[in-house]
A and B are shown apart, each in its own frame.
Chain A
Amino acid sequence: MKSNDGHDAAILVIADALKQGGIEVILGGYDLTVDKFVDAIIQEGVHFAGISSYNGGHVPFFKAVRDALKKKNYPYIHLIGGGGATLTPEDIEILEQQEGIDKIFRAGERDSVLPYVNEHFDFSVVPEEPEALLEGVKTGDELALSKLINLAEEKARLDSLIEDHRNTVHHEENKNRATSLPDQSYWEEIGGERGILKTIERYKKCLSTLDNLVRERPSRVFGITGRGGSGKSTITDELILRFFKDGRMENKKVAVISIDPSSAGSGGALLADRIGYIYATDKNWVDTRRIFIRSVASRGYGQGIARALPDIVKILKAGGYDIFIESYGIGQPDIGVTRVADQSIFVTTPDVGGAQQIEKEDMLNIPGVVVVLNKSEHRGSRHISSLLRKKVPSERLFLTTAIEHRNPGINSLYQSLTQHLN
């Protein structure tokens, strides 16, 4: 979703309603250009893209997005939009009838967005020819990467369903059945998805062929974790900015995998980290052709990551990317990210609590973890940093103020993380 200006209230209301309805919503950003919006759609592999526009100038904007997606052969998309009363009935007619926009919602119609999405979401658009994507992955074609990641997420979803099924069967004390795949009647029950299993089997084979490629293309995986609000997105963004200003990184590409929790009740999610990457998505600051950002919902997997994460990491490694994983933190233990990352980074803040809290923090016991005390200008910073010093050696502890541009703490952190990268 994108908003053309600061009027974001309606976007957030709709995003929340979709989330409550079980949909994963990615906030694309404010005031996007056509290019940025299309990049976001492709990298995120979304099925619906919504534009909220309030200021006028929207008819040509919608049209330009539609044209750009066509040009890039993006297959899945439903384009929807709204923005209140500045979209006149005449505009709506032009957009829906002539410009191939699927649906424009008028002021007061926000309740119809969720039913529309539910009605028009089609599982059959998910299967791909995975083999055909491999070449694209090797050359770093963003659309191929995105499609393969979609399959990775689809596989993870099915694995979860099968696991749930086994657990249910297990409880019914039918252990023989529990070891086999669910039968046809099960798939009919959950929506007739048996056909996709074949695609997933092919996907798995394809993924194993990537192993060689991954070995040939050494890349580093940084896993950033910490509580919500500790500044992970800002730190990631600032690190990426430095990466692109660093002469050593001229030929390198960066991918960001940003994981946010799914709602336990509805299964929906609001993935908003992309908005926080103000430098990483702006071509005035970085070479956006060398950066790939993907938002991922945890889908109840726990430990601050998603079931599909190892596959996604593998695909992006094969694409030749160095990777930042931004894990989510809702408490402890969120240490799942340490299993896929070469270097774990734990972000904390001065309001974390006292010595007892720090004692309990599992992340501090991960060998080689880098610890960032962000918001170090806040009260309590001296106390917390001295407690942290007892747990981690000083060369792995960084005091930062990430909201300050050119912050020396972030500079040191970047230098330390990249000292072995060439």
Chain B
Amino acid sequence: MSLADIIQANDQYHRWIEESVDRAKKDKKYQKDLEQAWQEKISALEYRSLPTELEIPLIALPHFDHPAQIARYLGEWGFPGEFPYGLSIYPKAFLIVDNQREHEEPTRIFAGLGSPEMTHERFRYIVKQQQSKRLSTAFDTNTLLGRSADNPDYFFDIGEGGVSVTTYQDVLTLYDGFFEDDVSISMTINGPSLWMTAARLQAAQERGQNLAKVRGTSQTDPCKEDDAQNELLFPLGPSIKIAMDMFEWCSLHAPLYYPINVSGYHIEQKGATPIQQAAFTLANGFVYVDEALQRGMNINTIGKRLPFFFTSGMDFEYIALLSAVRRVWAVALRDAYGADDLNAQKLKAHVQTSGRSLYEKEIQNNISRTALELFYALLNYPQALHSNSYDEPITTPTEDAVRIASDTQAILFEEMGGFKDMMAYLSDSSGRREAYHRIIHGILDYFREIDQLGGTLQAKADGFFRDEISQSSSGYDQQVHSGERRIIGVNRYSEGRKESRTVSRVEVSGEVKRKRVDDVRRFKEQRDPKKVKMGIQKLQEAASSGENVFEVTMAIVKEVTLDEWTHALQEVYGMYRRKI
């Protein structure tokens, strides 16, 4: 499918809305149908009494004086949980009814530092604060670049900014006690994602879990690496190919596991505007859809298995960014790709507050920024949510800061009246409507440009995505520098403000790093070298012949370490050339 088809489907959908609005102005029978449908919704509304004794309906539905308005509402937004999912993919997303939530709380807190043992301890602490057990893992640079912790050249990087993982044993240790059906494990990893996922799935099996019940996700978004993060192990083509190997394999053997997360977050962090984030991320998503279709996978299976990851930031667009993205996706999946399973049309999204919006100066102001970004995120009803800790500009989050970040979410969900009481209570506000339409237009305009450049992969190869992002990035920088973009306590009201910091940095000691080196060495020494050699050979054969590389990785992951896996495949595929 080309982007032109997706643009066409969206344009057609837009025309369909206008036609049905027109019809609702003239056609009496249609008017009656609309009014009747609306009336049914209203009569079905449940009511509740707030602690203050105010009676309110569970869903906020607008008052309409004319059926044409109903037609527009249904076309533009749809009821919560209904096509085109402008408001929400679920009808009662965050509501607390009879002291119960229909869906899991979206809180997902990111953690990872030092050794697998240290991070494991942090996980135990985090789940104590959550109703549902959702772990989210950050890895150190060595791990993300497929290097062994015992590589002396990169000793300093061990465990910094994320957990260090090199061996199968590390994965067992890291998630010990969490290989349970009610725990969802998320791993922020891309280049070495196949190895890490294979290790995680094998470990689950070893601990007695049925693969069909394993829940969780890994990032595995090579396209956005090429746009932003620059941390691929192999060139983009083979990176996409093996990611799809894993995608296909998991759809058959680990149906609750999401191996790919189409991620806009890093594109935004690199400097993209909100609309660029939305357009480029969706374009990347369609690359995976097309690749999966080419392998003969069913569009309904594909649609259900591709979750997304976006930023919520301080810019106005975030009031409706996810809503707009959801509509473009739903229309594309239904009308261009022909997905008739409703679950395949629903774009599921994890949202994280913007790390780029946080500053070192007056560092506690970051708590307010994050809270407001959460609020914008929640107006869009995401399925999972991470709030940054206020101390992230200077350190891997401290425990106190993590607690505040997680509490801030709970304050919005559980304490403050609104999200827990009434579904979609601000959702079709005039401001959101303006943003929504302009973002959809912006996305489609970018699609047109990308299509003219020869499609997403060609545009990437020619540097279009990176150039656009980099221009926005320097523009943003300039705005902060000149004060046009006001940052309170940083470039505004900043005179005489204190420079002194009140938080200290979390550090990984030399002792922890040395122990990592020893542990990895011991693991490597205790293996049967023949098995390792055979495993590597099998892997390289699979890569050279185009077989499913993930299947082979599953078979060898207990012996072959992350760095060995990486180098073996680099010998076949070559290394990724980072772009400037």
Contact = CB atoms under 8 A, between A and B. Distances in A.
Contacts, number: 88
B505 A275 contact: no
Contact of A30 (B160, B505, B578): B578
B274 interface: no
Interface stretch (A1-9, A195-203, A322-330): A1-9
24 contacts: A4-B141, A4-B157, A5-B141, A5-B231, A6-B228, A6-B231, A9-B270, A9-B473, A12-B580, A13-B474, A33-B153, A55-B141, A56-B160, A56-B161, A57-B160, A57-B508, A58-B156, A84-B360, A85-B360, A86-B393, A88-B394, A272-B580, A405-B572, A405-B575
A355 interface: no
Given A56-B161, A57-B160, A272-B580, A31 B141 contact: yes
A64 B580 CA distance: 27
> Which of B361, B573, B575: most chain A Cβ within 10 A?
B575
A234 B576 CA distance: 11
B577 A86 contact: no
Interface in A281-309: 282, 284
A249 B567 CA distance: 24
A159 B394 CA distance: 49
Nearest to B235: A403
Interface of A: 4-6, 8-9, 12-13, 27, 30-31, 33-35, 55-58, 60-61, 64, 84-86, 88-89, 107-108, 234, 272, 275-276, 278-279, 282, 284, 403-406
Contacts of A35: 153
B230 interface: yes
B387 interface: no
B157 A57 contact: yes
Contacts of B235: 403-405
Given A6-B230, A403-B235, A275 B154 contact: no
A30 B567 contact: no
Interface in B244-291: 270-271
Contacts of A58: 156
A86 B141 contact: no
Interface in B454-476: 470, 473-474
Contacts of B160: 55-57
Interface in B544-580: 567, 572-575, 577-578, 580
Contacts of A55: 140-141, 157, 160-161
Contacts of B136: none
B153 A278 contact: no
Contacts of B574: 404-406
A60 B271 contact: no
B360 A107 contact: yes
Nearest to B469: A9
A405 B228 CA distance: 22
B5 interface: no
B360 A33 contact: no
B319 to A, nearest CB: 26
B396 A30 contact: no
Contacts of A403: 235, 577
A85 B359 CA distance: 8
B206 interface: no
Nearest to A61: B156
B contact residues, range? 35 or more
B141 A88 contact: no
B448 to A, nearest CB: 20
Contact of B394 (A27, A85, A108, A406): A85
B580 A27 contact: yes
B14 interface: no
Given A4-B141, A9-B473, A57-B157, A278 B271 contact: no
A320 to B, nearest CB: 27
Contacts of B477: 9, 13
A interface, over-half SS:
loop
Contacts of A33: 153-154
B229 interface: yes
Contact of A88 (B161, B470, B501): B501
Interface in B200-245: 228-231, 235
Interface string B485-515: 0000000000000000100110110100000
B357 interface: no
In the complex, the 4 A-B pairs of residues with the closest C-beta atoms, listed nearest first: A405-B574, A85-B360, A56-B160, A33-B153
Contacts of B96: none
Interface of B: 140-141, 145, 153-154, 156-158, 160-161, 228-231, 235, 270-271, 360-361, 393-396, 470, 473-474, 477, 501, 504-505, 507-508, 510, 567, 572-575, 577-578, 580
A108 B395 CA distance: 17
Contacts of A107: 360, 393
A8 B575 contact: no
A284 B567 contact: yes
Q: Name which of A5, A12, A60 has the most chain B CB atoms within 10 A of its CB.
A: A5
Contacts of B501: 88-89
Nearest to A272: B580
Contacts of A275: 578, 580
Contacts of B572: 405
B237 to A, nearest CB: 8
A28 to B, nearest CB: 12
Given A56-B161, A107-B360, A86 B473 contact: no
B578 A64 contact: no
B575 A56 contact: no
A86 B580 contact: no
B505 A88 contact: yes
B230 A85 contact: no
A37 to B, nearest CB: 11
Nearest to A406: B574
Contacts of B394: 85-86, 88
B379 to A, nearest CB: 29
A275 B141 CA distance: 18
B418 to A, nearest CB: 34
Contacts of B361: 108
B473 A8 contact: no
B575 A279 contact: yes
A24 B50 CA distance: 67
A275 B575 CA distance: 13
Given A31-B145, A56-B396, 6 more contacts: A13-B474, A55-B157, A56-B507, A56-B508, A61-B156, A406-B574
A70 B470 CA distance: 37
B580 A8 contact: yes
Contacts of A34: 153
Contacts of A30: 230, 578
A57 B153 CA distance: 13
A406 to B, nearest CB: 7
A60 B160 CA distance: 12
A89 B502 CA distance: 12
A145 to B, nearest CB: 24
Contacts of A6: 228-231
A86 B157 contact: no
A292 B504 CA distance: 42
A64 B229 contact: no
A5 B269 CA distance: 14
B577 A57 contact: no
B393 A85 contact: yes
A86 B231 CA distance: 21
Contacts of A85: 360, 393-394
Contact of A405 (B140, B156, B161, B573): B573
